[in-house]
Chain A
Amino acid sequence: MSIVRTESLTKVYGDVGQPIPAVHDVDLTVDEGEFVAIMGPSGSGKSTLLYLLGGLDKPTSGKVWLRDSDIDALDDDALSRLRRNQVGFVFQFFNLIPVLTAQENVAIPLILDGMPRARALKQADEALARVGLADRATHRPTELSGGQQQRVALARALVTKPSVILADEPTGNLDSRSSDDVVQMLRRAVDDWKQTLVLVTHDSRVAAFADRIVFLKDGKIVDDNRLKGKGNADQIREQLSKMVLS
């Protein structure tokens, strides 16, 4: 069953006179429980595609369905609720609210949804425990390492049991060890917790953990591979460099 589906999705930035297409005529379907990595060189439109999928940005034309909802038809409030309940985001930068504790950061989507605070915090504790940070619940983001911060962000994405988790270069700012931790955690989210995950990265080692890799160039899908067996990083790296050079 498809969780995310796009149809001729197009996003054009810039003026009318000087249009810069970021995403061009993309048809993409992500099934439930799938781990999809979107790859491509800088400026290929992969982040824009991710934002369109999550309702952070409005398409110029085309459609996005999240489960049965046509995102384009939603007003701002409904879209906010959709992001709150159906989508979990993990970004590269500025992921956490600095004045909130780890626990509160995780609980914020629930609290915004009106869940009683005590209950929201309890659920946040459970989510933190899943990412191995139960003992860091009362720490502020500045008191956590970069890898820990991203795991808090992942806990926040998990806490609402969303239809899909969208991760934008979640390891882009991390050293390799932290990066491995985070990616393995993402993999577990799919395997153990049955989440659907779409991840944007330019790191083939990260993409190697995915079930499927979509290559984007100049806003268009140029390749869509289902990986059989894991850890096929070299193959991916090769394909990537070929694309960049071509």
Chain B
Amino acid sequence: MTTAHPSNFGSTVWQMTLMGLRYLRGRKLRTVLTTLAIVFGVAMIFAINLILPSMQEAFAQTMTSVTGADLTVTSVSGESFDPEAVLPTVSGIDQVGAVTGILHRQFSLPTLGNSSLGDTAQIDLVGIDPATIEDVHQFVVSDGRFLEPGDSGKALLPAGIAELAPELHVGTTFPLITAGGLKIYNVVGLMAEQGDLSSPQIYVTLADAQAAFNQPGLINTVEVSLAPGADRDAVAANIQQALGDSYTLDQGDSSSNTLAAMQVGLAMFDVLGLLALFLGAFLIFNTFRTVVVERRHDLGMLRAVGATRQQITLLIVIESLIQGLIGTAIGLLVGYLMALGMITAFGQIASNFFHRGDLSLQFSLPGLLGAAAIGLATALIAGYLPARTAGRTAPLEALRPSTPANLMHAARWSLIGGAVVMILGVLLLLTGKQGAAGGAILFLMGMVVAAPGLVIPVARLISPLLSLGFAREGDIARGNLVRQPGRAAITGSTLMIGLATLVMIAALVLSFAALINSLADANFSSDLILLPQSIAVYDTVVGADENLANRVRALPEVQDVGTMRYASSVTADGQALQVMGINPDDYSKVASFTVNEGTPEEAFAALGSDRNALFTAIALSTVGLQVGDDFVLQTAEGPQTYHVAGVANDLFTFKIAAIFISQANLAADFHKTEDVMLLINLVPGADKDAALANMQNILTDYPQFTAHLTGEYKQELADVTSGALVAFYGVAFLILIPAALGLLNTLTINILERTREIGVVRAVGGSRKQVRRIVTAEALLLGLFGAAMGVLSGVAMSYGFIAAFGTVGWDMPYFFPLAGIIAAVVVGVLLALFAAVLPARNAARLDIIRALQYE
């Protein structure tokens, strides 16, 4: 573009920004409503971005190595090994200075009973060999002394512990959970180092740590210092070669199924945030399309005095960008507050379930910029199309009354196009599980495309219903609605997405609850259950040695005890698997599996021999194996070949990649003999409460466990599940907020546009009440239109997503969400009525004379 003052493009832009701001201020309510959707979407996405790194860090901390040695060696499986297999080999390698073996584990401290270390929620218990550790890593003791060979029950604490447990000094004692029961430690020294307060490192002798984890003679980390001037990479390569690929250098164990599960959960919120922005885009699009029509005189005037098409487009784009900027800025702020709230809530849940409360917000510039960019881009894209239309405004528009366009033709094409997309979606839904979710989305999109063409037939279909309550006003309302099928369609679409989400969540909740219940019934046949500090994150659990199970077995009320053990592992190609160890004979008496083929008895029987493994459905799809395949598992004894004997799920493992093997194999290959869960059946007729009391008595030595009556626990679980699912309903209602805004927006615009007509209706004798009823009827039509579309696509989406969950191993029964459908229709109608209140009142209150003169 060449102008007489090309260097002063900024002058024009600045003037347009001023104009944009004034136009926005001139329609405050609409600006606020339109902006809210952007606020909402940006807030959601930003909040997730603030929380996710913190979550990742919290879980990653669990896995990081212990000290600042030059090199560390761990087993690929993450489990412990015999120091003789590694230490001599490593120390024999050229340029290696010193080596030392360590056994450490991060674990949560139980919240029940006396907390042994003040406010400390989690510690890293590090067993070191005092004779060799200082060759690798220098410790500065600020008070007391360092550990000495032969120490027992002695501990060295970081200086920072004083903040968490001020009462601890050199010479005081504290109890700590171990696999052998509570053990008292004596503080012999404090280190100068402040340490990581989210998980303080407590140093004890190697022997003490081995006792605490019931792993005599084993270590899980080798620390290596290099000779002066050594080539670190070369030494690392030599060590790797000497040890083979069962060991890994410098890499913490990255297996964290919990993290993956959390990420999936948080990704859901991201999807909801994007949905909200999608709605926001609709709202902005709708608003600006109307703005362009309303302002055609101004735009035409600008064109008449010499504005080019691009300049007009720029004006509208700037205006939508201003809205995007404001919405994004507020959204970032709200997102920050939301994240604070979520951290608090998650912290609660996390500390309840995993005994972890150390989550914090983490700012990341890419996260901030990403959320901001998405918000701005939404506004920009949504504003651009109307802006282009505005650019095409003929200068003469300024001088003519409004020009009614024939929209029927376009509506017909959109109906045809949308129907084609919808049919494709349905076909995809029906053909198979893999594409089902895509089919559902396609169906939804088809619906959006077809919406303008659906307005007229659907309105015609519904209006007899409407005339029951609005005999006189129904026809006018219908006429008003179909006059702008595009606008009605967009409003209907926003409502549709909100209501479809509601229907889908209702179906998912039903199906998920049914799945949980059926698993709970199948798995919890025992009378009592002893649960560890955290379920499903067994990495951070200190279990119990056989003494606990034996003491429980010795109780007069107890008939059978089955235990569960745990080890971490990876497959040959690096897929993390949780390995659960059960003793099939004992376990089958107290629990059952949900099996895909055969019977649970056959599944249990298979575990009794050889290296057989039962996979959860998720594990099987994760590693891409079939029943009957052999596969290599990295164990603490190097790679071992296991056999896929079947598919089995239980309540605790159905959503994680886990396998079941026998405890004999777990001990031999993974060196793990701690029980992390105990399931107990009582003698028939035994007093359950007496048994529970006895059990709790034993557990005073093992406060890492809590005893539950299975029935009560099931109830508790059901409560927690429904609590979590209620939160999902909350999210669905959040999505409905922008939809309600869309309704309000459209009704307000429609009335503004028809001010003069309303004046005419009033002038020829229409009462205020009738005007109000016309607007209400129009809102109802819109609400029912959105509800009808929402129910259809909601059913498609729920079917698609439940089928898609099936492909990752969550085979849920499909429940037709009848209640959700009824709720969606009711909510749609209520929203419409609610949104109509204000515009209807405004319309009814219009001054007749001024309305007639309105332009």
Contact = CB atoms under 8 A, between A and B. Distances in A.
A175 interface: no
Contacts of A116: 5, 8, 11
Contacts of B310: 77
B23 A99 contact: yes
A29 B779 CA distance: 57
Contact of A85 (B306, B311, B855): B306
A109 B311 CA distance: 12
B305 A156 contact: yes
B399 A112 contact: no
A89 interface: yes
Contacts of A104: 15, 18
Given A104-B15, A115-B8, A120-B11, A77 B309 contact: yes
A115 B22 CA distance: 21
Interface stretch (A90-98, A183-191, A208-216): A90-98
B641 interface: no
A244 B815 CA distance: 78
Interface string A110-124: 011111110010000
B297 A112 contact: no
Interface string B1-15: 101111111011011
A77 B307 CA distance: 9
A53 B6 CA distance: 27
B306 A84 contact: yes
A163 B678 CA distance: 97
Given A51-B396, A94-B398, A117-B15, A109 B7 contact: no
A121 B398 CA distance: 24
Interface in A28-79: 47, 51, 54, 56-57, 76-77
A94 to B, nearest CB: 4
B330 interface: no
A221 B3 CA distance: 37
Nearest to B7: A114
B306 A81 contact: yes
A108 interface: yes
A149 B398 CA distance: 16
Nearest to A91: B399
Contacts of A54: 304
A97 B398 CA distance: 11
Contact of B308 (A76, A91, A99): A76
A125 interface: no
A72 to B, nearest CB: 16
Nearest to B16: A111
Contacts of B7: 114
A97 B11 CA distance: 18
B307 A80 contact: yes
A115 B11 contact: yes
B301 interface: yes
Contact of B6 (A51, A84, A92, A114): A114
A3 interface: no
B837 interface: no
Contact of B395 (A47, A56, A81, A111): A56
B306 A109 contact: yes
Nearest to B20: A99
A81 B3 contact: yes
B312 to A, nearest CB: 9
Interface string B727-761: 00000000000000000000000000000000000
A112 B311 contact: yes
A109 to B, nearest CB: 5
Nearest to A84: B306
Contacts of A47: 399
A63 to B, nearest CB: 19
B303 interface: yes
Contact of A94 (B19, B22, B297): B297
A77 B396 CA distance: 16
B228 interface: no
Interface residues of A, number: 37
B12 A111 contact: yes
Contact of B298 (A89, A98, A114): A98
Interface in B16-30: 18-19, 22-23, 26
B396 A94 contact: no
A111 B19 CA distance: 12
Interface in B456-491: none
A85 B311 CA distance: 16
Contact of B302 (A51, A76, A112, A168): A112
B305 A108 contact: yes
A134 interface: no
Most interface-central of B3, B305, B398 (chain A CB within 10 A): B305
Contacts of A168: 399
Nearest to A168: B399
Contacts of B9: 114
Contacts of B8: 114-116
Contacts of A117: 11, 14-15
A113 B3 contact: yes
B308 A113 contact: no
B3 A114 contact: yes
Contacts of B306: 80-85, 109, 112-113
A94 B305 contact: no
A87 to B, nearest CB: 8
Nearest to A100: B19
B304 A83 contact: yes
Given A56-B304, A97-B19, A112 B12 contact: yes
B308 A94 contact: no
A127 to B, nearest CB: 13
Contacts of B301: 91, 94-97
A97 B302 contact: yes
Interface in B702-735: none
Interface in B437-471: none
B396 A56 contact: yes
A77 B304 contact: no
A76 B304 CA distance: 12
Contacts of A92: 399
Interface in A121-172: 156, 168
Interface string B304-326: 11111111000000000000000
A109 B305 contact: yes
Nearest to A58: B394
A92 B306 CA distance: 18
Contacts of A96: 301
A80 B308 contact: yes
Contacts of B855: 93-94
Contacts of B302: 97, 108, 112
A156 B298 CA distance: 15
Most interface-central of B3, B398, B399 (chain A CB within 10 A): B399
B708 to A, nearest CB: 68
Contacts of B307: 80, 84, 112
17 contacts: A51-B399, A54-B304, A80-B308, A80-B311, A83-B304, A91-B399, A94-B855, A98-B298, A104-B15, A104-B18, A108-B15, A111-B15, A112-B306, A112-B308, A112-B311, A114-B7, A117-B14
Given A97-B301, A114-B8, 14 more contacts: A56-B396, A80-B306, A80-B307, A80-B309, A83-B303, A83-B305, A89-B304, A96-B301, A97-B19, A97-B298, A104-B15, A112-B12, A112-B307, A116-B8
Interface of A: 47, 51, 54, 56-57, 76-77, 80-85, 89, 91-100, 104, 108-109, 111-117, 120, 156, 168
Interface of B: 1, 3-9, 11-12, 14-15, 18-19, 22-23, 26, 297-298, 300-311, 394-396, 398-399, 855
Shortest 10 CB-CB contacts between residues of A and residues of B: A84-B306, A114-B5, A99-B22, A94-B297, A80-B308, A114-B3, A114-B8, A83-B306, A56-B395, A117-B11
